[in-house]
Structure 1
């Protein structure tokens, strides 16, 4: 089994970057890879509670994020600085995450066989 990290940095309503990251994580999980997902910069907003993408005419894929654990995608990381930039805490997010500072993110990346940035 290989360690695969998907890194997301784009805002949730900026094109389909977050949706593609979510799909990528699910695809790797389906082929029994040890998948981790790191959200940083604007991407942390994808995990914010009470989103209403339907108001923008966008399909609500945020519900799918909540099912990641069912697919054994349990290693969800968020950038500590990004949370602070948006004045968010773990309690403001729709799923349980691991908060990672810069050094922890660097160590996480170093542990991977494959890194995909979307």
Structure 2
């Protein structure tokens, strides 16, 4: 599973997005500043949690659109945040590889 920090103003640094190969979906979890990330043991659940079964997102662009709509910000800002945190070889802004899963680690 890939996990990338999502750097957006007003949101905790624990906010993240990535690819879940077990379910073949993109996911995101966002915690607002001033909350205690965790979701259990007295910690706050994410303000936005895009995961199955409610969301089965197979394109990064669609994931970004859901985040932009929820936060009421420009799609381009979310795509920029993806690009700033993404370390993979594929495009963030769409294109033929936008649907591809993360590559396996070299030592797997």
TM-score bracket, normalised by the shorter chain, equals: under 0.3
Q: Report the TM-score, using the length of structure 2 for normalisation.
A: 0.27
